[in-house]
Amino acid sequence: MKENQPVPVYPVQYIPNTEDEISLVDIWLTFRKHRKLFFKVAIGVTLLGLIVALIMPKSYDLRTSIEIGTAIRGDTPTPIEAPETVKAKLENSLIPMVIHQLNSAEDDTIEYKISTTIPKKSALIVLTSKMTTDEEAQYKKLHNMVIEAITKDHARIINVLKKNLQTELSLARILLDELIDPATLAALIKEQEKALEEARANLEALSKPEIFGVEIKAEENKIQGEKNKLASLKDQAIILNEKLQKTA
């Protein structure tokens, strides 16, 4: 048998393919050869960009701020409506209504868009629209119509508040007239005299002062209080009669 002989190993050599490589020299030669074409393309692209920038209309943002009116409730001024309520009313009702009116009246094809925002910690509503210079007049008219619509809606709320205040004022005047009416004052005096007589009767009914000393003292204080009230009412009656005589 033949002994196994080792297989010879030959190192692999990498021979670069220079045909697929592009050197900087080749690029420079190509650019130099076609430099006029490159310059023409660059100038053409620049001019095209300038022409497009000049031809296309410029876009602007039109912003309008609406301040919500306030009403005095108690001692604190509060908005007539919450800003969130006004925002929802504008987006879902008033703005679509105004856009429909504007499109119907002028028969234009502008797709009007208005966004509404509420600045933090404020009672303001900000209307924002993107427009071109050609659309400026239409968008300003649109914003003014939206302001008129929300103003009319708040005028309705203010009228309701005014009617409520007038009703409260009328009731207050009726109560005041009843208080200064001589008949009402006489009835109050009679009621106090009756209470005074009842207190005296209760005091006389106490047969054992040593046991009911506390009750007697309380009744005496009550009688004195009723006397003071009666005297005050009589003084008011005298003053009222003098005023009535002067006005007669």
How would DSSP label each residue in 200-217? HHHHHT---TTTSHHHHH
Those residues of the chain that have pLDDT short of 50 are: 1-2, 14, 211
d(CA 95, CA 82): 18
d(CA 229, CA 42): 105
139 and 197 belong to one structural domain: no
Handedness of CA 46, 52, 57, 60 (dihedral sign): negative
pLDDT at 90: 93
CATH label of the domain that carries residue 124: 3.30.300
Domain that holds residue 239: 181-247
**Per-residue pLDDT tens over the stretch 145-197:** 999 999 999 888 888 888 888 888 888 888 777 666 677 777 777 887 888 88
Using DSSP's 3-state secondary structure scheme, residue 129 falls into: strand
Domain end point (choices 124, 146, 168): 168
d(CA 246, CA 243): 5
Q: What percent of the chain has pLDDT over 70?
A: 77
Handedness of CA 104, 105, 107, 111 (dihedral sign): negative
130 and 152 belong to one structural domain: yes
Query: Global pTM?
Result: 0.50
187 and 218 belong to one structural domain: yes
pLDDT at 1: 45
Q: Which amino acid is at 212?
A: F
